[in-house]
Amino acid sequence: DVIMKRAANYWMAALQVHQHTEPLRTDRLGSSCGKYSWETDYTCESSTAPTCGVDGVAFPAAYLNSMRTCSERCTEFTCASTCTEGAACTCSSGSTGVVDTSGNLCEACTTEPEGDGLQYDFYVFVTIKDSAYCGGNTLAYATNCVRDQCDRPIFGHVNFCLSQVDLSGDKTDALVSTAVHELAHNLVFSSDLFRYFRNSDGTPKLPRDSEDDVEDEVEWWCSSSTDYEYPYSGGGRTYVDLSAAGLVNVFDERNIGSCPCPMNGVTRMDTSSGCVVTPSGYGWRTPRCVTKMITPKVLEKARDHFDCATLNGAELENQDTGLCSIVGSHWEQRIFMNELMAPVLIAGMPDPFLSVVTLALFEDSGWYQPDYSMADTLVKDLHWGYMRGCSFATEPCVQDGSTDFPDIWCTTDGDSSCSLDRSGVKQCSITTHDNVDPYIDGWEYFDSPSVGGVETADYCPMFQALITNRICTDVVNSITVTDPNYYREVLGTNSRCFDSSLRDMALSRYEDATQLCYEVECSNDFREYKVKVATSLDTSTSSAELGTCTRAGQTLARSDSLGEVTC
C-alpha cells in the first residue's frame, strides 16, 4: 500500500490531465447479442463484469455502467390487454414481458443499475501473486484495460510477482521505482497505446473510421517470436504502421541495415524476418531494426539529453520483455541503461533515474501536461549516456574491438574501472552466448559473433559487475588493495573511486594506474573538492589532504610517494 501510494503520488505531482465531469466507469460485457433490421443498437440477453489485465481482474459492480438486457425477444406474442407501449404481453414460449417502443416485440427485460464509479482520473487494480507471467526475474508487469472518449487510459492493472518481492532492509525504494515504472506503462508507455495518441488540439494522430476505430489496422496471429503469421485475418491481434503518423520510424544505423518489418510501406513479414521482439534470456539475437520514437517533444528532449542536435529520435528497445510485439515499450537499454523506462534492472547498475525524455512522451500523447521539473537532475559522466554526444546514441558501442567510451564499454573480460558514480570498482563482463543468430552480418563487436554483453543492451560489453569488497563507501565489507596500505587508500561514506598510481616508495616497480579509494570533501559551491589519503600504511580511515581537484584530468601527487591521483 505504501509503495503504490508513493508511486501514485509521484505521477500525480508530475502530470496534469483534463478531468472528467463524470465518475470513472466502464461498460458491462453483453452475451448473446443481436438486433432486428429496424434497430440501430444491439440488445443482449445477459451481461457480465469485464476483466482488467492479462490476469483477468474482475471489475466490481460499483465501477460499471448500467445495461439493459432482455432474456427473451420475440415477434410472436399475445397481449394480456390492449397492445400499447409498456403493456404486459406473453411470448409464444410463455414468457411474460412488455411491449417495446416499436410495438413489434414482446420483451422480458431488466436493467442492471449504474455503479457509483470513481472520482479519479485513473484507477489501477494491484495484485501480488506469482503467475504464468512471472518467469525469470520478472518483478512486476502492467496492462491498461479501459480508455476514455479521448483514448486516454482510465483503468489499469499492475501485478507484483510474489516470489520476487523483497521488503527487507533498503529494498523499498527499489520497489517504488518499479511501481512508478509499471504505472508509466499503464498511463502511456505501451506500444499498444501509441496508435491512440492525440494532437495538442485533441484530434487523433492516426485517422479514424466511422466507428472511431483506427484506420488501416492489420490483423495478425502470433504465439511467439518465431511462430506468427502477418497478415492473418481473424488472428486476434492488430497492428498499425505508426510511421505513417510521425510517431515512430526506423533508421539504418550501427550496421544493422534496412528494416524488414511492417513500417514505411512494408506490408508483410515472414518468420525469418525477426521482426517480433524477443524477450531477454534467449541468447544471442541480432536486432533487425533501429526503431525510434520521433514525436516532437520526445525528439527535442532526446537531443538535449544526449547533446546531439542532429539526433533523429529516442530509440526504443529491440530486445523487449514482452512476447509478440513489433514495436518495443521501453527505451533502448544500450543508451538509456538505468533510466526509469529502460526494460530491465541490470545487476550492478546505479539506482534508476527519470529523464525529461520520458516526461516528453507523456506530453506527446496529447493526454497529459508534464511538469519537467519532476525529472531527476542529471550530471554528465555520472548518469548513463547523458550529454555523451551523437556517436554514443547512434554508433556501435564497440567497433573492431575498441570503444570511444572506455568508462562505459569494455573490451577485455575482467578489466576493472570506477563505477560512473565513483562509489566503487566494477569489472568488465563479457559473455559467450550459446545461440548465434544466422542473421548476423557485420554487426559483431569482436572476432567471434557469439561474444558480447547483456541482451537488452544490444550485447554491448560493459563494466557491470560491482566488486563487492571494493566499494569505497563500505568500511565494513571492503578492503584496501594491499595490507599494509601501500596505496594510502581511505574507505568511508565520503570516499570515492579514482584512477590512481599513487603508492608508497616500497612499490617502485608498480607504475600502472588502478582504481583506488580516497576520501573527498566538496567545497560549499560544489565546484571543486579536496582529496584526502591515508596518513599511514596502517590505516584506511584516518586521512590527510593530498590536494584540491578543480577540473577533470588534473593530477595530484605528494613528495613522499610515487605516482599520482587523477581527478
- Is 181 part of any known ligand binding site? yes
User: Looking at 357-452, which runs of residues are DSSP E strands?
Assistant: 369-370, 416-418, 424-429, 431-432, 451-452
- Write out the H or E segment, with its range, that includes residue 333: helix 333-336
Q: Rounded distance, CA 127 to CA 158, Å?
A: 6
Of 286, 278, 284, 288, the residue nearest 257 (C-alpha): 288
CA distances from 209 to 147, 204, 214, 215, 365 (A): 17, 11, 6, 6, 20
Of 72, 59, 118, the residue nearest 98 (C-alpha): 72
- Is 330 part of any known ligand binding site? yes
- CB-CB contact of 340 with 383 (8 Å): no
**Counting runs of H as helices and runs of E as strands, what totals does the chain give?**
7, 31
Tell me the backbone φ, ψ of residue 506, rounded to 5 degrees: -65, -20
Q: Rounded distance, CA 94 to CA 80, Å?
A: 12
Q: Which residue has the cell 516532437?
A: 296
Q: Which residue has the cell 497478415?
A: 231
Catalytic positions are: 182
Number of C-beta neighbours around residue 415 at 10 A:
15
Of 505, 527, 503, the residue nearest 518 (C-alpha): 503
- CB-CB contact of 542 with 536 (8 Å): yes
Of 239, 143, 233, the residue nearest 182 (C-alpha): 143
Longest distance between any two alpha carbons in the chain, whole Å: 115
- SS3 (DSSP) at 330: coil
User: Looking at 180-259, which runs of residues are DSSP E strands?
Assistant: 218-224, 227-229, 237-239, 248-251
CA distances from 549 to 514, 519, 521 (A): 18, 12, 10
- Is 157 part of any known ligand binding site? no
Which burial class, exposed, middle or buried, applies to 112 when counting CB atoms under 10 A from its CB (0-12, 13-18, 19+)?
A: middle
* Binding-site positions for Zn(2+): 181, 185, 330
* Binding-site positions: 181, 185, 330
